[in-house]
Each structure stands twice: as structure tokens, then as C-alpha cells.
Chains A and B, each alone.
Chain A
């Protein structure tokens, strides 16, 4: 009984492991554009958070203005690079870009 169960287990697992599907997931590194989208999302969240905390009365006006300016500068740099890369990319290929959703 144990022998049969062991044999069946071995065969089932062997088949599962060594006969994978033809189309395996591609292994690829993260692109610069993907990284920038992630950065943009984080910075947007930070800005929303800043706005919300300001509305909740946690930041005095002068602190808020300074913090917002710093974050906006950083975000603007990221957005500018995204726009640049996207325009280059769409210029070189007609296929649709995989643009991560927010």
C-alpha cells in the first residue's frame, strides 16, 4: 500500500515538475519606465497625504507650502522623465505600451 502510494506520488510530481507548459513566464528586469511609474505613484500618495494632513490641521500654512513645493519639484522631475521616455518609446514602436495603472 505504502509502496503504491509512494510510486504514484513520485510519478505525479515528476510529471508536474518536468513537463511544464510551453509558454513559461518571461523573466525580465524592471524597466526604467516601470520604476518611474512606481515613483510617481508614491509621490502622488505623499502629496495627497500632505494635502489631507494640512486639511486636518496638522501642518501650519508655511510648512505646508514648503513641503508641497519640495514634493512637487520631485514629482515634476519624474513626470518629465516619464513623458520623455514615453514619447521616445511610442516613436520607436507602434505596439501598445503596458502602462501600469495607478
Chain B
């Protein structure tokens, strides 16, 4: 029953995300989308953070973004429109399309594979660990052991 509830919770959260996504206020969307794109002037800065004097591109681009948001375009539509107009390098991060998916998938996949491999390695090492030998009882060993304890105990 508990597991069933957990499974029910996931689609509910997804639905909630989708339903509420549209309610994000336009100021926040402007800020978010402004951070999703680069300035086209070649300064290498994120669009909304471009601050170099006399930039010919950031002002018009931000105005375009504001208009698109006021028009009610979705995030995806806006990003695609900018990409079509200014080229693929205008997006600050690759979209989840074709080969670009690889950019997003590889690092987390590597982490998961790494965790799995580490766990397997630890397990393998544990299985190989030689059982602890019996403590020898000869007097020579006992003398050495006493000496070791004397020199290392608290």
C-alpha cells in the first residue's frame, strides 16, 4: 500500500509541475529565459548579464524576448525562434534534441555507472579478503605483541 502511494505521488507531482508551469510570472520567465541564451555580439556573456558598453545586440534581443513573453509564446517556442534567427550557439545550453541529448545524459550516466562499478569493486574485494589468521600463541610472538602494545596503546 505504501509503495502504491509512492507510485501515485510521482504522476501527481508531474501533473502539478505541468499545470503550474504556466503560472510563473512573466518577470521570472524573462529572467530565466534571459539566462538561457547568450548575447549575440560575441562577448561570450549570458544575454541578461551582458554589460559591456555599447553592445549592439543585447538591448534589441532583450526587447524581442519581452515581446515574445507578452505575446504568450511558450519557453520552447521562444528558444526555438531565437535559435532559428541567431543560430544554435545562441542557446546557453544545448536543447534536448538529437545529438545534443548526449551532452546531458553522459555525466549523470557516468556517475551512475561509476557508483555501480565502485559497489561491485568493493564487493569483489570483500569476497577476496583473506580470513583473519589465528593469532599465534608462541612466546616469541607474545613478546613482540606486548612490545607493540606498549609502544602504541593509549
Contacts and interface: CB of A to CB of B under 8 A. Distances in A.
Contacts of A73: 133, 135-136
Contacts of B152: 44, 47-48, 51
B52 to A, nearest CB: 43
A51 B153 contact: yes
Contacts of B136: 73
A51 B133 CA distance: 21
Given A72-B145, A72-B148, A79-B148, A52 B154 contact: yes
A66 B136 CA distance: 14
B148 A76 contact: yes
B110 interface: no
A69 to B, nearest CB: 6
30 contacts: A44-B151, A44-B152, A47-B148, A47-B152, A48-B152, A51-B152, A51-B153, A51-B154, A52-B154, A55-B154, A66-B132, A69-B132, A69-B135, A70-B132, A72-B135, A72-B145, A72-B148, A72-B149, A73-B133, A73-B135, A73-B136, A75-B144, A76-B141, A76-B145, A76-B148, A79-B144, A79-B147, A79-B148, A80-B140, A80-B144
Q: Classify chain A: how many residues form its interface, as a range.
A: 10 to 19
Interface string B84-125: 000000000000000000000000000000000000000000
Interface of A: 44, 47-48, 51-52, 55, 66, 69-70, 72-73, 75-76, 79-80
Main secondary structure of the interface of A (DSSP, over half): helix
Interface of B: 132-133, 135-136, 140-141, 144-145, 147-149, 151-154
Nearest to B132: A70
Given A66-B132, A69-B132, A69-B135, A75 B153 contact: no
Nearest to A49: B152
Given A47-B148, A52-B154, 13 more contacts: A44-B148, A48-B152, A55-B154, A69-B135, A70-B132, A72-B135, A72-B149, A73-B136, A76-B141, A76-B144, A76-B148, A79-B144, A79-B147
Nearest to A46: B152
Nearest to B153: A51
